[in-house]
Amino acid sequence: MGRPTTHGMIPWQDAESKGNFDKDTWELYDLANDFTEHDDLAAKNPQKLKEMQAAFMVEAKKYNVLPLDDRAVERFSTALTGRPTGALDGINQVTFYPGMVRLPEGSAPDLKNRSYKITASVDTNGPTSGILLTQGGLFSGYALRVVDGTPEFVYNWMKEEFTSIKSSEKLPNGKATIRFEFAYDGGGVGKGGTGTLYINDKKVGEGKIKQTVRNRFSFDETMDVGEDTGTPVMMDYNDKMPYAYSGKLEKVVIDLLPVPAAKVSEVQRAKRDGAKALALAN
């Protein structure tokens, strides 16, 4: 016998549909003879249904699944679930060094729905290539990289829209800083903004990112420094993976600019409302 009930979002229903535990209808199927679960036997076998319900409660208590929680993507958010965010809680500047790879998105600085700066310090001798910082991957994410000595910031919006902001100049030999600044447009979540590239504080590139990922880049991609350990943000370096930076990368500093107080609740509400839609999109 199998499947107690259909709860929550069903693929052919609207993304905002949500079940109610108190109103769920329990179902009963003979999987030995009906593997497609076509014939609901609950009405014909009320006593067996009660036995299965009781068995479910025993196992649910045994494995600590009570109280039942049907939140989906929201459960990945430390802020929305009330879990402590750990070492980065309240910190707006973080310095990473080469070798920091596979940092889960929930533990990484959150660059979404705000302005920020990424500054990479390098030491080069001739043209270099590779990843300086990346988060996300093939289905959405970003990367600050160098291609044949030329810095570039690339942004992948849901594998639907790719933006490249490329420097007009190559890196000089010796020590240098590459800085990418993103000025968020505001006016809600998932909005666009202007990205600007600098080499040693000199502006060398600018571009518009029309829209940004509002909630989460991926369930399984991570943040990496100096290489890309997941899938590529842009397919043009897929055959070079992990595309480790060929020069000397000293460090990467991320600065998170404050989110206006009036926008904090708006961002949190949008994350809750868009959780299921995001799960489908990713």
Q: Computed from CA positions of residues 102, 201, 175, 241, in that sequence, does the dihedral angle turn out positive or negative? A: positive
The pLDDT assigned to 9 comes to 58
The pLDDT assigned to 23 comes to 84
Predicted confidence (pLDDT) at residue 277 exceeds the cutoff of 50: no
Predicted confidence (pLDDT) at residue 31 exceeds the cutoff of 70: yes
The pLDDT assigned to 281 comes to 41
Paired with 254 in beta bridges are: 94, 118
**In the predicted model, what is the mean pLDDT of residues 28-37?**
92
The pLDDT assigned to 82 comes to 66
- Side-chain-facing half-sphere of 281: CA atoms under 13 Å: 18
pLDDT tens, residue by residue, 79-104: 666 666 556 778 899 999 999 999 99
Sheet holding 161-166, edge to edge: 103-104, 222-225, 130-137, 140-147, 150-157, 161-166
Predicted confidence (pLDDT) at residue 202 exceeds the cutoff of 50: yes
The pLDDT assigned to 17 comes to 53
Q: Computed from CA positions of residues 99, 104, 108, 110, in that sequence, does the dihedral angle turn out positive or negative? A: positive
Predicted confidence (pLDDT) at residue 161 exceeds the cutoff of 60: yes
pLDDT tens, residue by residue, 4-21: 677 765 655 544 456 788
Enumerate the domain spans of the chain.
Answer: 21-70, 76-281
Q: What is the pTM of this model?
A: 0.73
Sheet holding 248-256, edge to edge: 93-96, 248-256, 116-124, 174-184, 193-199, 202-209
**In the predicted model, what is the mean pLDDT of residues 110-117?**
94
Of 215, 80, 79, nearest in space to 136 by CA: 215
The pLDDT assigned to 279 comes to 42
**In the predicted model, what is the mean pLDDT of residues 56-71?**
90
CATH topology for the 76-281 domain: Jelly Rolls (2.60.120)
- Token digits for 54? 């009781």
Question: Could you tell me the pLDDT band of residue 278, with boundaries at 50, 70 and 90?
Answer: very low
The pLDDT assigned to 88 comes to 74
Question: Percentage of the chain with pLDDT > 90?
Answer: 68
The pLDDT assigned to 170 comes to 98
Average pLDDT over the chain reads 87
**In the predicted model, what is the mean pLDDT of residues 47-51?**
94
